[in-house]
Amino acid sequence: MVATLAQGITLGALLQGVAVANRGYAGGWFDWLTPFSVLVGLSLVVGYALLGATWLIMKSEGSLQERCYRLAFRLGIAVLLAMAAVSAWTPFLRDAYWLRWFAWPQVLFTAQVPLLVIVVSVVFLVSLRRQHHYTPFLMALALFILGLAGLGISLYPYVVPPTVSIWDAAAPDLSLKFMLPGVLVMVPIILAYTGYSYWVFRGKTGHEGYH
């Protein structure tokens, strides 16, 4: 919980902006600690708990699964409220965020993110009500993906707003070309191994798995 809270606070502090001067940090000791960063931190804790509850719904059965259905409903409502609060607050952090979300005509594209959040939320709640086993976890993942999409829309093209862009932070072209062959080899291996591990541990964890 402490690690997740710290991760969320770091993300919130990054969103609200980092003071940079002469290629170095120019802010104070506690610029990272604000009501907004704490809100993002608590939101991430609740979000990870939701992922855990829906994962257990998918992997367990009996009394544990029933308990996780109840927890997932409460945590799901909390996550939706947290996403709404963070989303409503973010455009007011910087004028650039406001323009990126609401300027015409790009608002036609950015509006798809909250609309998809509504659709996914409805499917999530209905799947819990009908006690589906896999859909709640998939919809919880979809909420995280949409949250990351919203984060990308807000931050682009900055890595450290409002001064360090993706292009400023990128390694030199020669270094990127040197790393590319390794990435092309290792990423498929990592994906294949991850897929294989999910295949090995597929299905429910029955009582025989507790021994």
pTM for the predicted model, two decimal places: 0.84
Q: Work out the angle at residue 165's Cα, subtended by the Cα atoms of residues 79 and 185, and round it to the nearest 5 degrees.
A: 80
Residue 50, in any domain of the structure: yes
Kindly report the backbone phi and psi dihedral angles of residue 20, in degrees, each rounded to the nearest multiple of 5, phi listed first: -130, 135
Task: Tell me what pLDDT residue 102 has.
Answer: 85
**CA separation for the pair 100, 43 (Å, rounded):** 23
Per-residue pLDDT, 134: 92
Any domain includes 25: yes
What is residue 207's predicted lDDT score, i.e. its pLDDT?
58
Contact 30, 37 (CB under 8 A): no
Following DSSP, what letter does each residue of 65-90 receive, concatenated? Answer: HHHHHHHHHHHHHHHHHHHHHHHHHG
Asked whether 24 and 64 are in contact (CB, 8 A), the reply is no
Is residue 183 assigned to a domain? no
Cα 104 from Cα 100, distance rounded (Å): 9
Per-residue model confidence as pLDDT tens for the chain (211 residues): 999 999 999 999 888 888 777 777 777 788 888 999 999 999 999 999 999 999 999 999 889 999 999 999 999 999 999 999 999 998 888 888 888 888 888 888 888 999 999 999 999 999 999 999 999 999 999 999 999 998 888 888 888 787 778 888 888 889 989 999 999 999 999 999 999 998 998 888 765 544 4
- State the total domains in the chain: 1
Amino acid 78: pLDDT = 96
Do the beta carbons of residue 79 and residue 143 sit within 8 Å?
A: yes
Do 15 and 34 meet the contact criterion of CB atoms below 8 Å apart?
no
* Domain of residue 53, residue span: 2-173
Domain assignment of residue 211, yes or no:
no
